[in-house]
């Protein structure tokens, strides 16, 4: 088993400095107004970034196993934020869209990579235990190759 650790230090109000380790630059996170000043990504944005990054990494890894080059990849992730039955704000769902940098026709074994890459995404599969995550993959020509929860 591996342990991943970060440390957070409050700087002012809802703004925190997040440290990831000695050789990684620190990041400032902050809530948007009216709570914070929006001087960094919010916790919800960081969750979106984590899911998008992990999915992109997993798809890249799955394609590279077949010696394919889908670069440059690009991803967008939207979080649906709403109220739970108790009236508290929650992330109700995430929708990730990964864009390949090349046409699907340029990639061999794409169907196999698309069929399995999500299973290897540590963050998304962990988040999915509590939050629905929809994932779409689109090639460089705008063709939707995969779109499912």
In eight-state DSSP terms, residue 87 is S
- pTM of the predicted model as reported, rounded to 2 decimal places: 0.94
For 22, 45, 77, 97, 142, the CA distances from 138, given in Å and listed in that order, are 37, 22, 14, 7, 6
- Domain definitions of the chain by residue range: 1-41, 43-148
pLDDT above 70 covers a percentage of the chain that reads 100
- pLDDT band per the 50, 70, 90 thresholds, residue 148: confident
Distance (Å, whole) CA 81 – CA 93: 7
Structurally, what CATH architecture does the domain formed by 43-148 represent? 2-Layer Sandwich (3.30)
pLDDT tens digit string along 87-105?
999 999 999 999 999 999 9
pLDDT tens digit string along 43-100?
999 999 999 999 999 999 999 999 999 999 999 999 999 999 999 999 999 999 999 9
Continuous H helices in the chain: 43-65, 110-116, 122-127
Contact between residue 99 and residue 138 where contact means Cβ atoms under 8 Å apart: yes
């Amino acid at each position: 088993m591996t342990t991943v650790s970060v440390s957070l230090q409050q700087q002012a109000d809802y703004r925190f400095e997040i440290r990831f380790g000695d050789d990684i630059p620190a990041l400032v996170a902050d809530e948007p107004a009216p709570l914070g000043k929006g001087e960094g990504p919010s916790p919800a944005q960081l969750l979106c970034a984590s899911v998008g990054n992990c999915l992109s990494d997993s798809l890249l890894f799955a394609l590279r196993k077949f010696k394919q080059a889908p670069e440059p990849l690009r991803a967008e992730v939207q979080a649906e934020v709403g109220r739970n039955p108790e009236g508290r704000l929650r992330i109700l769902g995430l929708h990730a869209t990964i864009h390949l940098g090349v046409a699907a026709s340029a990639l061999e074994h794409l169907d196999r990579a698309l069929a399995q890459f999500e299973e290897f995404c540590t963050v998304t599969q962990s988040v999915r235990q509590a939050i629905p995550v929809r994932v779409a993959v689109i090639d460089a020509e705008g063709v939707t190759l995969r779109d499912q929860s």
